[in-house]
Amino acid sequence: MSKSIADLHKKLEAEKNIHTDFKDNMTYGEYLSLDSILSSQNRLSGHHDEMLFIVIHQVSELWMKLTLHEMTAAIKAINEGQMQSAFKMLARVTKIQSQIIQAWDVLSTMTPAEYLEFRDDLGKASGFQSYQYRLIEFALGYKTAHILKIYEKDPAVHEMLEKAYHAPSIYDVAIQALSRAGFAINPDLLTRDYSQTYAGDPTVAAAWEEVYRNVDKYWELYQLAEKLVDVEDWLQQWRFRHMKTVERIIGFKVGTGGSSGVNYLKQVLDHRFFPELWDLRTKL
């Protein structure tokens, strides 16, 4: 027997315990509900590239689901003073964001002519209507009341968004953490209307500056601040790639959902979720 055949026999022997009978056991596909997932790419046209369009958006929604899972848990952890747990969750969020950003690179392989072949079949459906993306914005503190009307068709989704709209953002709980650490935070911020987008406050700016000037003393708060900057940085990179991909494929046309398309996406690039954490870089 040759050495290569003998090696093959050894490898097969090593894998003799691989399970092959699943009549009474759960399979990988059953655990992941693959039948449901892989049968959900329902093209409305016969065009080849519509499959790409659907899969990219579905994959992005799955990543957003995981982002929300981690963000919600991080908010709870910060509230409870479990900072190290929150840091792990936020670090994972930034890795997820890098995956979503790369999805735009795949979608950008579709040309304007190819997209036009099935764009009209989308009707008024648009990524602008992604309720998970709105939940992420709400969790980061960007609250927009007029957006809620989009989701009235689905009472369960609308209720979920309403709850998130009035809940404290991750930056609100970070500010509360500053207060618990002894910083003189404006008391109105600790009981404010969380449905209003945070616009900045001098007491918060002063607290973060003190944290950055005394890193050893406020190490956990410093770590928290940098994790928040990471999340916002990656989100803005996602927004930029989104804007450039849309511009590359449809130019400055109005979006299928009725937004101004590229012009709208450019406007949101100017919004800052954690203003003091960016301003202090100039002050230091």
Quote the pLDDT of residue 171: 98
| Predicted confidence (pLDDT) at residue 54 exceeds the cutoff of 90 | yes
115 is in an annotated binding site: yes
Q: What is the rounded distance in angstroms from the CA atom of residue 68 to the CA atom of residue 70?
A: 5
Judge whether 256 is annotated as a binding position.
yes
pTM score: 0.90
Whether 75 and 170 have beta carbons less than 8 Å apart is answered as yes
Alpha-carbon dihedral sign for residues 38, 43, 48, 49:
negative
Mean pLDDT over 111-118 rounds to 92
Q: Is 231 annotated as a binding residue?
A: no
Banded pLDDT at 72 (limits 50, 70, 90): very high
Element containing residue 246 per DSSP (H, E)? helix 219-250
- What is the Cα–Cα distance from 283 to 211, expressed in whole angstroms? 13
pLDDT at 12 over 70: no
d(CA 32, CA 30): 5
- Contact in structure between 165 and 148 (CB atoms under 8 Å): yes
The set of residues, in sequence order, having a beta carbon less than 8 Å from that of 270 and lying 6+ positions away, is none
To the question of whether residue 53 is assigned a binding role by annotation, the answer is yes
Share of the chain above pLDDT 90, in %: 76
Closest of 272, 284, 257 to residue 57, by C-alpha? 257
In this predicted structure, what is the pLDDT of residue 266?
85
Which CATH fold would you assign to the domain 47-283?
Methane Monooxygenase Hydroxylase; Chain G, domain 1 (1.20.58)
Q: Is 252 annotated as a binding residue?
A: no
Structure-token match 């908010």, residue found = 75
Domain ranges (residues) in the chain: 47-283
Q: Check residue 1 and give its pLDDT.
A: 53
pLDDT reported for residue 2: 64
In the chain the first and final C-alpha atoms are separated, in Å, by 73
Task: Name the nearest CA neighbour of 256 among 152, 134, 151, 122.
Answer: 122
Report whether 101 belongs to an annotated binding site.
no
Identify whether the C-beta of residue 137 lies closer than 8 Å to the C-beta of residue 198: no
Least confident of 9-23, 114-128, 236-250: 9-23
